[in-house]
């Protein structure tokens, strides 16, 4: 696995995902421009992963990398959901339903149910 040409690709993707995950965690929900940029970066990473999986599907003895790249897709899905949740807050704020959305999602509202 160490001598495979997919090693460098996987290292690059892991590094990109790590950076993006940190960036998403630090981005406030109201910074919709940054969230849009992060979504575009995530889409680029997803393209790279899907393209690599396509190449891997024609390779023999690369099952370790196949599993790794499917794990990357799961991580991308998780990060995309985090961005979507922040975008929901942005949209709620724009529509004027921000405080009710915040209350609905809050710990205190769950206690009152």
Cα 4 off chain centre by: 26
Domain membership of residue 67 (yes or no) is yes
pTM as predicted? 0.71
> 10: which residues sit within 8 A by CB, 6+ positions away?
65, 68, 69, 72
Domain membership of residue 87 (yes or no) is yes
**Do the Cβ atoms of 72 and 42 come closer than 8 Å?**
no
How many domains in the chain?
1
Question: Residue holding tokens 């991580």?
Answer: 75
Domain membership of residue 24 (yes or no) is yes
Look at residue 113 and give its three-state secondary structure.
coil
CA distance 109 to 102: 9
Q: What digits encode the pLDDT tens for the residues 58-106?
A: 877 667 788 888 899 999 999 999 898 888 877 777 777 666 666 666 6
Containing structural domain, residue 41 = 6-111
Average pLDDT of the chain, as a whole number: 81
CA atoms within 13 A on the CB side of 59: 15
pLDDT of residue 26 exceeding 70, the answer is: yes
Domain membership of residue 1 (yes or no) is no
**Do the Cβ atoms of 113 and 105 come closer than 8 Å?**
no
């Amino acid at each position: 696995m160490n001598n495979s040409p997919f090693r460098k690709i996987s290292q690059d993707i892991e590094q990109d995902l790590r950076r993006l995950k940190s960036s998403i965690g630090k981005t406030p929900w109201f910074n919709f421009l940054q969230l849009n940029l992060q979504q575009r970066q995530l889409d680029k990473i997803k393209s790279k992963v899907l393209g690599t999986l396509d190449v891997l599907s024609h390779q023999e003895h690369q099952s370790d990398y196949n599993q790794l790249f499917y794990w990357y897709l799961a991580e991308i899905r998780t990060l995309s959901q985090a961005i979507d949740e922040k975008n929901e807050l942005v949209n709620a704020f724009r529509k004027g339903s921000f405080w009710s959305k915040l209350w609905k999602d809050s710990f205190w509202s769950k206690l009152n149910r």
